[in-house]
Structure 1
Amino acid sequence: MVLDACFSGAGGRSVLAKGARPLVMIKETRTLAAARGAQISTSSPEVGHGILTYYFLKAIRDGKKDLAEIYRTITPEVGDAAKLLNVTQTPSLIPDASELRGRFRFRN
């Protein structure tokens, strides 16, 4: 699951509407969120959508298929692009990239 939305890194803490239930992680589900904790994900007028989406799609177009590799590639790119917009944005991956060990790959 790829989430490029405000507070996507909050993981159900404090951003749920009253009465809403948090998502339950299904076994073998991987989540790439645009930001961590209380950070807000941002979009760039230059690319027309969220900066996580831009760098995620760029990594796939560049031939990267392993989710952990994509995460390691785009994390600094997203951070640098966010700094240019005067915000802090650090993608998060659940479970951590070190736990994936090449087990989650995108196919054509």
Structure 2
Amino acid sequence: MIFKNQTETISVPLDDILYLSTVPGMRNALLLVTIFGESFIDGKIKDIKAKLDAAHFYTELKSHVIHLRKVKGIDSARGLIQFEGENTLELNTPSIRKVLQHFKEGGNR
């Protein structure tokens, strides 16, 4: 998938993406977290959601897109989603519940 930021165009294989998140206080900016690191990219989360395969990405949260196959664990007590490579994403209680429910209903893993 091709992403842009203010200075460059970034090509990222979908399988390398862990998650994307909106950045509070920064309009039209997203945080892209991959197995290799983090980058800020330009865009709106709704536009990214429309381009991703819903079978592999959880797109039901307002501010995050999560690569389901990269989730290694969910700590609902602490509100953390754990990914491969020690990466974590902190979510509020309602969001963690939505993600947990998705997996309980047989969502892709």
Is this a same-fold pair by TM over 0.5?
A: no
In our comparison, the structure showing a higher alpha carbon Rg is 1
Structure having greater relative contact order (Cα 8 Å, sep ≥ 6):
1
Q: Which band: TM-score by shorter chain?
A: under 0.3
TM-score with structure 1 length normalisation?
Answer: 0.27
